[in-house]
Amino acid sequence: GENVEQHPSTLSVQEGDSAVIKCTYSDSASNYFPWYKQELGKRPQLIIDIRSNVGEKKDQRIAVTLNKTAKHFSLHITETQPEDSAVYFCAASPMDSSYKLIFGSGTRLLVRP
């Protein structure tokens, strides 16, 4: 089955700097890759997603890139702000069950003011 690895497990950046979180997946047939943000004590919420027919997607300060050949995808946050501090999870949707999500282990992002 699908396996998703996520790095780094923790990331500390200065406010205004960029943050990059990387994930790799094992099932080459996976075709949907969402990113969820989980603030302390709150539910995970979708922040951006990408499908396998595109290589990059951007939404204001957040962008996601996908390299299907290498089976990895990354989350890029520019001009980070303290409110970006949270745990970020990547996920992949296996082709054989397109409404299941297999999650990475999470990255705790701390943005220092």
Partner 1 sequence: DAMVIQNPRYQVTQFGKPVTLSCSQTLNHNVMYWYQQKSSQAPKLLFHYYDKDFNNEADTPDNFQSRRPNTSFCFLDIRSPGLGDAAMYLCATSRGLVNTEAFFGQGTRLTVV
Rule CB under 8 A: which residues touch partner 1? 4, 6, 9, 31-32, 34, 36, 41-46, 49, 51, 89, 93, 97-106
Which contacts (CB < 8 Å, 24+ apart) does range 94-99 have?
94/1, 94/2, 94/27, 94/29, 94/30, 95/27, 95/29, 95/30, 95/31, 96/29, 98/31, 98/32
Minimum distance between the CB of residue 41 and partner 1, rounded to whole angstroms? 8
Of the pair 39, 79, the CB lying nearest partner 1 is at 39
State which residue, 100 or 112, has the beta carbon closest to partner 1.
100
CB of 99 to partner 1, least distance (A): 5
